[in-house]
Each structure stands twice: as structure tokens, then as C-alpha cells.
Amino acid sequence: MHTKKEVLNEALSLPPIERAALIEELLASFEFPDRKRLDQLWADEAEDRIRAFKQGELSRGVDKAFRLLPSLPHQAFSLCRDLLH
């Protein structure tokens, strides 16, 4: 059996796309009452953003969005923590 630290170190050595996929799978392993509703809300949000991008309605530039990316893992963790408690 691997320790949590060993698993973490191995996961951190993965390329970013594989780490993101691993995170998605780990988060999907949690079950909570509003899971389907939350998944649908995120899907709707993604579709709205794609539509807004295609229609030139986005107010944030890509550069600003990429500057915000480093804070997203923490925000995603906080959201999941709040949903599970």
C-alpha cells in the first residue's frame, strides 16, 4: 500500500492534463445529494461561456483569464469541501 505522500508525489509528476483527469475522477468518486444538479449547472455554464465567446460577448480577455488560473485549484477544492460538509 502506498502512503498518501507517495501517491501525491506520483500524481504531481504527471503532465497537467493527466493531473486534471485524475482530479476529475477523484472528485467524481464523491457522492452527494445535489451531484447531478451541480453537474448540470456546470454544463450549462460552460455552454453559456462558449456561446458568449462565439458571439463576442465576453468581457474578460484571455490574458486575464489565464492569470486567474493558478487560483482555480484552490477554489475548486473549497467548493468541493463546502458541498461535502
Per residue in 47-62, pLDDT (tens digit) is: 888 888 888 887 666 6
Tell if the pTM clears 0.75, that is, is over it. Answer: no
* Whether pLDDT at 81 is above 60: no
Give the domain ranges of the chain. Answer: 1-30, 33-85
User: What's the CA gap between 22 and 24, in Å, rounded?
Assistant: 5
pLDDT cut 70: percent of the chain above it? 68
Burial of 67 (0-12, 13-18, 19+ CB in 10 A): exposed
Rounded mean pLDDT, 66-72 = 64
Query: Which positions ≥6 away from 27 have C-beta within 8 Å?
Result: 76, 80
